[in-house]
Amino acid sequence: MLAPSAWAIAPSEINSARIEAAEQNPGDWLTYHGGYKSYHYSGLDQINASNVKNLEVAWIHMPGRSTRGLQSMPLVADGVLYYSGSYSRVYALDGATGKMIWSHFPVLDEELVAMQTHSPYNRGVALGDGKVFVGTVDGHLIALDLKTGKEVWNTQLVDSKKLTVGFTGAPLVVKDTVIIGSQGGEWTSRGPLFGVDIKTGKKKWEFFTVAGTEEAKATWGSDSWRTGGGGAWMPGTYDPETNTVWWGTANPAPLYDWSGADWKNSGPRPGTNLYTTSVIALDPDTGKLKFYHQELPHDAWDFDSAVGEFVMIDRDGRKLVVHPNKGGFVFVYDRADGKVQNVWRIAKNINFVKDIDPKTGELIGRRDLSLGKASEPLCPAIAGGVSWNSGAYSPKTGLWYKLAQEWCMDVDVIKTTPITEPMAQLNIGANFKLVPPPDGAARGHLDARDPVTGAKKWEVNFDEPPLASVLATAGNLVFVPDSRGVLRAYNAETGQELWSHFNGVGHNGGIISYSAGDKQYIAVPAGWGGMVADEFPALFGEPFTSMPKDAGALVVFTLKQ
């Protein structure tokens, strides 16, 4: 099946209604998660399990200056592909040929950008109202004309010179509002989410993920909320049926603290630290909090909830949301009120808790660290049991294809003091080193599971954890871009590998499928770098020791003629 021919729909008609109908227009890929249901699934089936062996490179685009890798999720509307590179650069390309239509290089505060730890990569853009929206690492949200790439408005939302944080994640368009969350978990900020008027760029609302309400402020002892971290660095999604935005929040600062079991009363941030490491539900029109669930109260391990997708599934009369946590557990919520319906584990090596109650979400047997070196490695490692990239749900197979990571780390907790002047500084609270887990070598695995029960149908193991997103298609395929630089296609029903192609450098970003003209394409950014990638040489050696971290290319495939 192919979408309507390219250019059949005027770009100015990209709006929430069209995004909501994403399943009916599989030739497009309109949001970071592919649509509001967060499936990362393409309904196109021209490329399928029978002919995937005939895939070949159609075209390549090299953005240049791919410092710390190419981590973007491309978007497509009406046959035009839009994606971002490092330094918040945006490109519009002909989806069939790769020819440049326009590019936009924002003028950044380079000195400030160089001081940031989580930069200068960018993870994606948003489309709507005839514009392309991109956040910058120095705290701006910029709207570009969809046809020309010229700036329509440019709004500074974060004082990055003071807070040292900006935007690396993609925005989300909901009706007449552009929503974007800042970095912040490791810094002495309060991690806000912003709602911005889509036409004027004027800020409509701001929600603090640290002490965003009076109820939340009471959960931060000793005024620690003033430097609490938080953040909301990856995009959430929108439920049109309830007019609710779902978003995951980051960890508190410092990441690790020395309070041990007395975390409610002592240490650098006593209390549960709302709304960090939580899933929050906001009214997109006002930014008001509707409800929340804190997945890890007083997160003392950097296993925040900002990662991954929000898979919206209707089952047995229930409307559910499935969301992974960086700690290696998967939470299933009721979409109406955020009540926990199930919790299951996807990572095998977990010891920061003994378990999480699947009926209530309560942590069982939590392991809170004290000052000094931990007696045994902490599992998973700081990079998580799952990473920030997304899995894929296929409504055709009913399976959720999700990557998990098996690694641990030696950790030595140290005391820190928040530094806010003249600029905010990182506040980690520990030294650490990644090590193999107790059950064998450090590794990753792709699981095909029932997203609600966690029942596993098949699993594929990788010598090193893949860090890129996963794509499922109606052609009965699952694509996994791996860390060595090989793009692999698997049979969605069995996990059998059907095809692979070496792209020359590790993958660290998104992957999509779209149509232009009468052809289906697969587009994947290749380009290695970032804080997790930095740990690979010591743990895995080559090819990561010598893999470049300043090279990237968007590689696009289609079937041979």
> Beta-strand (E) ranges in 306-429?
311-315, 318-324, 329-334, 340-345, 355-356, 363-364, 372-373, 392-394, 399-406, 408-413
Q: Per-residue b/e over 71-105, b at no fewer than 16 CB within 10 Å?
A: bbbbbbbbbbbbbbbbbbbbbbbbbbebeebbebe
Cα–Cα separations (whole angstroms), residue 542 to 256, 533, 537, 546: 31, 13, 7, 7
Cα–Cα separations (whole angstroms), residue 89 to 55, 144, 465: 29, 11, 28
Of 282, 283, 141, 125, nearest in space to 200 by CA: 141
Structure tokens at 391: 């899995």
**Neighbour count for residue 357 (Cβ, 10 Å):** 11
CA-to-CA distance for 256 and 410, rounded, in angstroms? 13
For residue 423, the SS3 value is coil
Phi, psi of 17 (to 5 degrees): -65, -40
Catalytic residue among 28, 299, 302, 447: 302
Structure tokens at 266: 């002592």
Q: Are 500 and 516 in contact (CB under 8 A)?
A: no
Structure tokens at 554: 């968007």
CA-to-CA distance for 133 and 84, rounded, in angstroms? 10
Structure tokens at 146: 């969809």
How many Å is the Cα radius of gyration of the chain? 22
Q: Which helix (H) or strand (E) holds 538?
A: helix 536-540
Q: Dihedral angle at the C-alpha atoms of 244, 82, 143, 147, nearest 10 degrees?
A: -120
94 is catalytic: no
Structure tokens at 315: 């089952």
Which residues partner with 520 through β-bridges?
515
For residue 227, the SS3 value is helix
Around 75, how many Cα atoms within 13 Å sit in the side-chain half-sphere? 32
Eight-class DSSP state of 171: P
Catalytic residue positions? 302
